[in-house]
Amino acid sequence: MRVDYLIVGAGFAGCTLAERLATQLGKTVLVVERRDHIGGNAYDYYNEDGILVQKYGPHIFHTDSEAVWKYLSRFTRWNGYVHRVLAVVRGKEVYLPINLDTMERLYDRSFTPEELERFFERHRVRVDEIRNSRDVVVSQVGEELYELFFKNYTKKQWGLYPEELAPEVTKRLPVRFNRDTRYFTDRFQGIPSDGFTRMFERMLDNSNINPVLLNTDYRDIVDSVRFDKLVYTGPIDYYFDYKYGRLPYRSLDFKFVTLDKERHQNAGVVNYPNEHDYTRVTEFKHFYMQKHPKTTICYEYPTAEGDPYYPIPKPEFEEIYLKYKREADKLGSVYFIGRLAQYKYLNMDQVVAGALELFEELS
């Protein structure tokens, strides 16, 4: 077989590039995917009870980029879901990120925004320079809230305490002085009306794109396909045969349970910072607004072994990554893009933005 582009991985990065190259430039494309489905970590499907679930944990699309939103909106409508997350602390359910409502429920008193600012001013720890994920939190809200919400959750999620992780991890959660209980404040957010997988199917529905080769590692076919350029969205260390050592990725075990009731919990995601071995519980019917007499929930148990889900933001791993990146930059017609290939804790919209940028370069 001969194609213009061989694309490794059928997630957001791979599908965006396949679609753009095929539609806009008329290039022929072959996508090869190790798993038995397209969509990467955003893959969703109807389980045996007919409930739409996400195989790799809660995925909510959100972006401030109008360009990214408009691009994906060619392939899907959105269901208007607004994500809210509850955390169970001291036996109470409170909203995250920390906001006025969270503080009132937690401390059983009312706060004005000014009172809350004064409260944090009294409790926050003065830090000269934000060096890690602990500094980010204690410098804003102080030790007590850090311990309640962040310390143990992070240890469970990453196997590391926040002081061992780069600031970008806990910087994902702001602190709010208003009553905005949404998890994300991006201008555009939601879940594809017919699910993520259907959106990916539409992206790949193009006569220049060959049927995706599923259940196939690219190495098994790379010598039997002729191509001009390679787009690689898998782990960068694997591409280079781990020559500079393995990059660690945090993994998760997902445990799905279907319950004989319509509704299980009060939000799409409920976090358990201080109890249980799991970090959070997702109930998918909140996301998809599906009507069904049963409901499926998913527990997330973080692990060191397993599929690579999270690059670990830590300076010493960034150094290893940069060694690989220098090798990658020397290769003429191989392009590394996406969360695994760039070893970066990227959200879906950032991956799409990166893929659209790479497409411009290739045009």
Nearer to ligand FAD (CB atom), residue 262 or residue 304 = 304
Nearest distance from C-beta of residue 72 to ligand UDP, angstroms: 19
Query: Widest CA span of the chain, in angstroms?
Result: 69
Options 100-108, 167-175, 323-331, 354-362: segment touching ligand UDP (CB under 6 A): 167-175
SS3 of residue 330 by DSSP = helix
- Contact in structure between 348 and 40 (CB atoms under 8 Å): no
- Contact in structure between 20 and 356 (CB atoms under 8 Å): yes
Options 25-33, 118-126, 152-160, 226-234: segment touching ligand UDP (CB under 6 A): 152-160
Nearer to ligand FAD (CB atom), residue 216 or residue 290 = 216
Three-state SS letters, 170-197: HHHCCCCCCCCCCCCCCCEEECECCCHH
CA 129 vs CA 135, 136, 224: distances in Å: 8, 9, 53
Establish if 149 lies at the interface with ligand UDP (CB under 6 A).
yes
Three-state SS letters, 107-138: HCCCCCHHHHHHHHHHHCCCCCCCCCHHHHHH
Nearest distance from C-beta of residue 42 to ligand FAD, angstroms: 5
325 binds, among ligand FAD, ligand UDP, none (CB under 5 to 8 A by kind): none
Q: Which residue among 154, 189, 197, 295 contacts ligand UDP (CB under 6 A)?
A: 154
Nearer to ligand FAD (CB atom), residue 12 or residue 153 = 12
335-362 burial, b for 16+ CB within 10 Å, e for fewer?
A: bbbbbbbbbbbbbbbbbbbbbbebbeeb
149 binds, among ligand UDP, ligand FAD, none (CB under 5 to 8 A by kind): ligand UDP
Options 26-34, 62-70, 170-178, 322-330: segment touching ligand UDP (CB under 6 A): 170-178
Residue, CB closest to ligand FAD? 40
Options 147-155, 202-210, 260-268, 355-363: segment touching ligand UDP (CB under 6 A): 147-155
Q: Which amino acid is at 217?
A: D
